Amino acid sequence: MGQPKGHPLTSWDLLDEINFPDPDDDWRYGAIEEALAQAGDRYVLIGCGFTLFERMHYLRGFTELLEDLHANQSMVHELAERVLEYRGRVHGFSMTDDWGTQDASIISIPMWREFFRERYRRLYDAIHDAGMHAWMHSCGYVNDVIEEWIDVGLDVVNLQQPRALGIEEIGRRYRGRICFASASSACAISR
């Protein structure tokens, strides 16, 4: 998969120079029609990894973005808006944003609410408006963030670290309120 070694947004002065690729360029969607034709009546899930938070820290740098959440809040809001508004013709997909360390959320829940809550709501609303389910993968201890995702409309969460989460706790807190998916399981979704 790789990890970014350099970040193009080394200074906020460069924000207007960041060229986002054209989301309406037809080559981005070339394989979709063939894949849909082959799927028949099976459930089809389109994915887009590194959705909001991860895209932001890939552009700015992880440490820099965390510092900016305190020191350059208006610029973080601006970057979040630009990343969120970058959409193409596909609006239903699974996404990834890792929000946990091994024992805590990466940022506090109040800060998550300030910078990300309403943006995730808008993203999930767009997915729902397209008639799709919103799926999210996140690593780490995200126990408290799950409540936020449920409140803003996430349908399915993929958690790969049951030892970090305390799977029994997660089950008690959230069963019946959100669908849990893993690589080896299926789930029922209802809205």
Domains parsed from the chain with CATH numbers: 119-184 (3.40.50.150)
pLDDT in tens, the chain (191 residues): 567 788 999 999 999 999 888 877 888 777 877 877 887 877 777 766 677 888 889 899 999 999 999 999 999 999 998 887 765 543 346 888 899 999 999 999 999 999 999 999 999 998 898 888 899 999 899 999 999 999 999 999 998 887 788 888 898 999 999 998 865 444 445 44
Residues belonging to the chain: 191
* Helix H or strand E encompassing 136: strand 135-137
Quote the pTM value: 0.68
Contact 161, 140 (CB under 8 A): yes
Give the pLDDT score at 52. Answer: 83
Q: Please give the DSSP secondary-structure letter assigned to residue 47.
A: E
